[in-house]
A and B are shown apart, each in its own frame.
Chain A
Amino acid sequence: MNPFRWVGSYTIRFLEEAGRIMILFAQTLGWIFRPPWEMREILKQMQEVGVRSFPVVVITAAFTGMVLALQSFTGFKRFGAETMVGTVVALSMTRELGPVLTGLMVSGRVGSAMAAELGTMRVTEQIDALYTLATNPIKYLIVPRFLAAIIMVPVLVIFADIIGILGGYLVSVQILGTNPTLYFRRTWNFLELNDLYIGLLKAFFFGMIIATISCYQGFSAQGGAEGVGRATTQAVVFSSLTILISNYFITALLF
Chain B
Amino acid sequence: MERESSIKIRVTNLHKSFGENHVLRGVDLEVHRGESMVVIGGSGSGKTVLIKCIIGLMQPDEGKIYVNGFEISNLNEKEMNEVRKKFGMLFQWGALFDSMTVWENVGFGLRHQTHLKEEDIRRIASEKLALVGLKNVEDLMPSELSGGMRKRVSLARAIAIEPEILLYDEPTTGIDPIMADAINELIVEMREKLNVTSVAITHDMKSAYKIGDRIAMLYQGKIIEVGTPDEIKNSTNSIVRQFIEGRSEGPIKVVDPSLLVMRPQENGHAEKERRDERK
* Besides the known contacts A124-B93, A125-B95, A135-B109, 20 further A-B residue pairs in the complex with CB atoms under 8 A apart: A122-B265, A123-B268, A124-B98, A125-B91, A125-B92, A125-B93, A125-B265, A126-B97, A128-B57, A128-B91, A129-B97, A131-B56, A132-B57, A132-B88, A133-B109, A134-B82, A134-B84, A134-B109, A136-B77, A224-B267
Q: Report how far A121 CA is from B96 CA in the complex, Å.
A: 9
Interface centre among A126, A129, A136, A222 (most CB of B within 10 A): A129
Q: Is B81 an interface residue (CB 8 A)?
A: yes
Q: Report how far A147 CA is from B267 CA in the complex, Å.
A: 32
Q: Is A223 an interface residue (CB 8 A)?
A: yes
Q: Is A225 an interface residue (CB 8 A)?
A: yes
Which residue of the partner chain A has the closest CB to B87? A132
Q: Is B112 an interface residue (CB 8 A)?
A: yes
- Measured between beta carbons, the chain A residues less than 8 angstroms from B84 are 131-134
- Measured between beta carbons, the chain A residues less than 8 angstroms from B85 are 134
Q: Can you pick out 27 interface pairs between chain A and chain B where the beta carbons lie within 8 Å of each other?
A: A123-B268, A124-B93, A124-B95, A124-B98, A125-B265, A126-B95, A126-B96, A128-B57, A128-B91, A129-B91, A129-B97, A129-B157, A132-B57, A132-B87, A132-B89, A133-B108, A133-B109, A133-B157, A134-B85, A134-B161, A135-B109, A136-B81, A222-B264, A223-B268, A225-B268, A227-B267, A227-B268
Q: Please tell me if the beta carbons of A129 and B89 are within 8 angstroms of each other in the complex.
A: yes
Interface string of B187-202 (1 = CB under 8 A from A): 0000000000000000
Q: Please tell me if the beta carbons of B265 and A134 are within 8 angstroms of each other in the complex.
A: no
Which residue of the partner chain B has the closest CB to A44? B99
Nearest Cβ distance between residue B136 and chain A, in whole angstroms?
Answer: 24
Interface string of A98-126 (1 = CB under 8 A from B): 00000000000000000000001111111
Q: Please tell me if the beta carbons of A223 and B81 are within 8 angstroms of each other in the complex.
A: no
Nearest Cβ distance between residue A9 and chain B, in whole angstroms?
Answer: 15
A-B pairs, top 10 by smallest CB distance, nearest first, are A224-B268, A125-B95, A129-B95, A132-B89, A133-B109, A223-B267, A134-B84, A125-B91, A134-B85, A134-B81
Q: Report how far A144 CA is from B265 CA in the complex, Å.
A: 24
Q: Which of B95-113 contact A (CB under 8 A)?
A: 95-98, 108-109, 112-113
- Measured between beta carbons, the chain B residues less than 8 angstroms from A223 are 262, 267-268
Q: Please tell me if the beta carbons of B108 and A135 are within 8 angstroms of each other in the complex.
A: yes
- Measured between beta carbons, the chain B residues less than 8 angstroms from A227 are 267-268
Q: Report how far A135 CA is from B84 CA in the complex, Å.
A: 9
Q: Please tell me if the beta carbons of A126 and B98 are within 8 angstroms of each other in the complex.
A: yes
Nearest Cβ distance between residue B1 and chain A, in whole angstroms?
Answer: 25
Nearest Cβ distance between residue B26 and chain A, in whole angstroms?
Answer: 25
A-side interface mostly = helix
Which residue of the partner chain B has the closest CB to A133? B109
Interface centre among A123, A132, A135 (most CB of B within 10 A): A132
Q: Report how far A125 CA is from B56 CA in the complex, Å.
A: 14
- Measured between beta carbons, the chain A residues less than 8 angstroms from B157 are 129, 133
- Measured between beta carbons, the chain A residues less than 8 angstroms from B52 are 128
Q: Which of B151-174 contact A (CB under 8 A)?
A: 157-158, 161
Q: Report how far A13 CA is from B266 CA in the complex, Å.
A: 22
The residue that A135 contacts in the complex, of B57, B91, B112, B264, with Cβ under 8 A, is: B112
Nearest Cβ distance between residue B59 and chain A, in whole angstroms?
Answer: 12
Q: Please tell me if the beta carbons of A134 and B112 are within 8 angstroms of each other in the complex.
A: yes
Q: Please tell me if the beta carbons of B81 and A128 are within 8 angstroms of each other in the complex.
A: no
Interface string of A129-170 (1 = CB under 8 A from B): 101111110000000000000000000000000000000000
- Measured between beta carbons, the chain A residues less than 8 angstroms from B37 are none
User: With A129-B91, A131-B57 known to touch, is A123 a contact of B98 (CB < 8 Å)?
Assistant: no
Nearest Cβ distance between residue A152 and chain B, in whole angstroms?
Answer: 19
Q: Which of B36-57 contact A (CB under 8 A)?
A: 52, 55-57
Interface string of A216-239 (1 = CB under 8 A from B): 000000111101000000000000
- Measured between beta carbons, the chain A residues less than 8 angstroms from B55 are 131-132
Which residue of the partner chain B has the closest CB to A38? B112
- Measured between beta carbons, the chain A residues less than 8 angstroms from B82 are 134
Q: Report how far A129 CA is from B264 CA in the complex, Å.
A: 16
Which residue of the partner chain A has the closest CB to B99? A117
- Measured between beta carbons, the chain B residues less than 8 angstroms from A128 are 52, 57, 89, 91, 95
